[in-house]
Amino acid sequence: MVSRVIPVASFDLVIFGGTGDLARRKILPGLFRRYCAGQMPPEARIIGAARADIDVTTYRDMIGEAIAEFGGSTSVDPEDLNAFLQTLSYVAIDARGETGWRELAKQMRRKVVRAFYFSVAPGLFGDLAERLNNHGLTDDDSRIVVEKPFGRDLESAHQLNQDLAAFFDEGQIYRIDHYLGKETVQNLMAVRFGNMLFEPLWNSQFVDHIQITVAETVGVGGRGEYYDKSGAMRDMVQNHLMQLLCLIAMEPPARFDPDAVRDEKLKVIRALEPVEPHHIVRGQYEADQDNPEEHPDYRTAVENPKSRTESFIAMKTHIANWRWAGTPFYLRTGKRMVARSSEISIVFKDTPHSIFGEEAGRHRNVLSIRLQPNEGIKLGVTIKEPGPGGMRLIDVPLDMTFADALGPDGAENVDAYERLIMDVIRGNQTLFMRGDEVEAAWAWTDPIIEGWTNRGDVPKPYASHSAGPDASAQLMRRDDRDWREVTP
């Protein structure tokens, strides 16, 4: 199966922070792949902007090296790379200063889509928005793309929204959550709303519980200072895990269009119940016993011996509406865990009665949606164990792993960033967070964080390469349930 690539309209994309880690690791290698796939028109222009006083040749060399390093598994054709690099230019600009803006204006063309990617610290979003406006660089069709973290609480997120709203309409603001750009996340919606099979069962009558796990094997690395002020709740739950929860739990939107989808997601966030303190487990990883020098414990890694920030969190929450009343949602995410794995599992209830007798065995149907690695969807179904010896039931997966089901061409590995940047140019906001969604998510998160801060809770230590603190397993066992195994 060969995937169809429809080129997007011509554009000028300015990347503020064009020399930074995100631009070099994700944004520009992603654009290069879209260029090679024929989706980025050859006449489109990319303009890197940052304070460093470098010339365009140095910038192109820097990005060429980044693409060679982070461009993905496929080999880079030097001719393609060279042609792509010719689409790049560079302007030295300080987001808080006045130099460079005139040069940027000179480089930008009329009658093409103008997009501005704010790949800089959120403290600069307002400055950039204001200067883009003051220097007449934007029109009603221009778009801005902003990165997480979008605030650290409701107040700061509201302020950021206001800073941007002073110069841009909501329809021009693209708040990235790259989890929404993942192929499987969109497939989750295709499976739910494109089949008759699942939606009638998608409620508390048939679903026992839902679990979402985002496990990382890495520690905080070089991001210790940022991470220690944030923690797993702000860094992962408030955005990525909540977005996944929304897509699973939302009512069917009338249309697959940005506001219809985002209205339904917002309703889910607003229906989330507050989380009871005994339904939360926080943890901090211990040193890696095999390599404690290189992989020290969390507090050493963040250079804060008294830190109470969590590198792991597990929690149980409920959605107070007709569809989900009584169905728990279990969320879990952490660093330095046993395997890198992001998975959503819809665990269905037992059949009401076993005609084969309990000795034949009983298995619950589980629909697992795997985001990384090995993106795909599996449905566990019960069949008879082959062979003689009576009726014994076993659980086998109906495997919809895309690489196997669709063949090498159908499973083209489009990175989330590539897809989302192309959506910006197409003007499609469906997979981006709306301002009210972000604020509602913080409104749910803030009291939970305040609660443990006021109680003076200390995170529980957990072994590196484990599934988190024992208390996390107990959170499930108390309900007679288990976490799904974290497998690579």
Residue 404 has a CB neighbour count (10 Å cut-off) of: 11
182 annotated ligand-binding residue = yes
Shorter beta-carbon distance to ligand NAP: residue 71 or 469: 71
Does 148 contact ligand NAP by CB under 6 A?
Answer: yes
For residues 209 and 327, the answer to whether their CB atoms sit within 8 Å is yes
Q: Which residue out of 135, 158, 209, 240 is catalytically annotated?
A: 240
Nearest-approach distance from CB 98 to ligand NAP, in angstroms: 12
For residues 341 and 372, the answer to whether their CB atoms sit within 8 Å is yes
26 annotated ligand-binding residue = no
* Residues paired with 462 in a beta bridge: 285
Cis peptide before 277 (omega within 30 of 0): no
The Cα 310–Cα 469 span in angstroms is 11
Judged by CB under 6 A, the stretch of 1-9, 117-125, 162-170, 432-440 that binds ligand NAP is: 117-125
20 annotated ligand-binding residue = yes
CA atoms 92, 98, 103, 109: torsion sign:
positive
Q: Which of 120, 214, 242, 347 binds ligand NAP (CB under 6 A)?
A: 120
Longest dimension (CA), the chain: 82
For residues 295 and 336, the answer to whether their CB atoms sit within 8 Å is yes
Q: Is residue 318 annotated as a catalytic residue, yes or no? A: no
Does 21 contact ligand NAP by CB under 6 A?
Answer: yes
For residues 339 and 467, the answer to whether their CB atoms sit within 8 Å is no
216 annotated ligand-binding residue = yes
Q: Which of 1, 9, 68, 121 binds ligand NAP (CB under 6 A)?
A: 121
Residues 456-485 that bind ligand NAP (CB under 6 A): none
For residues 91 and 103, the answer to whether their CB atoms sit within 8 Å is yes
Judged by CB under 6 A, the stretch of 35-43, 46-54, 198-206, 346-354 that binds ligand NAP is: 46-54
Shorter beta-carbon distance to ligand NAP: residue 135 or 323: 135
- Residue 261 φ/ψ region, left for φ over 0, alpha for ψ in the -120 to 50 degree band, beta for the rest: alpha
Does 415 contact ligand NAP by CB under 6 A?
Answer: no
Q: How many residues bind ligand NAP (CB under 6 A)?
A: 23
Q: Which of 7, 10, 51, 56 binds ligand NAP (CB under 6 A)?
A: 51
Q: Any residues with CB less than 8 A from the CB of 232 and at least 6 apart, and which?
A: 282, 310, 311, 312, 313, 333, 334, 335
Does 56 contact ligand NAP by CB under 6 A?
Answer: no
Judged by CB under 6 A, the stretch of 120-128, 288-296, 337-345, 459-467 that binds ligand NAP is: 120-128
Nearest-approach distance from CB 76 to ligand NAP, in angstroms: 21
Nearest by Cα to 419 from 225, 181, 256, 175:
181
In the stretch 62-101, what mask flags binding to ligand NAP with x, by CB under 6 A?
-------------------------------xxxx-----
Q: Which of 12, 147, 228, 297 binds ligand NAP (CB under 6 A)?
A: 147
Q: How far is CA 390 from the centre of its chain?
A: 47
Q: Which parts are annotated binding residues for NADP(+)?
A: 17-24, 51, 148
Catalytic residue IDs: 240
User: Which parts of this chain interact with ligand NAP (CB under 6 A)?
Assistant: 16-23, 50-52, 93-96, 119-122, 124, 147-149
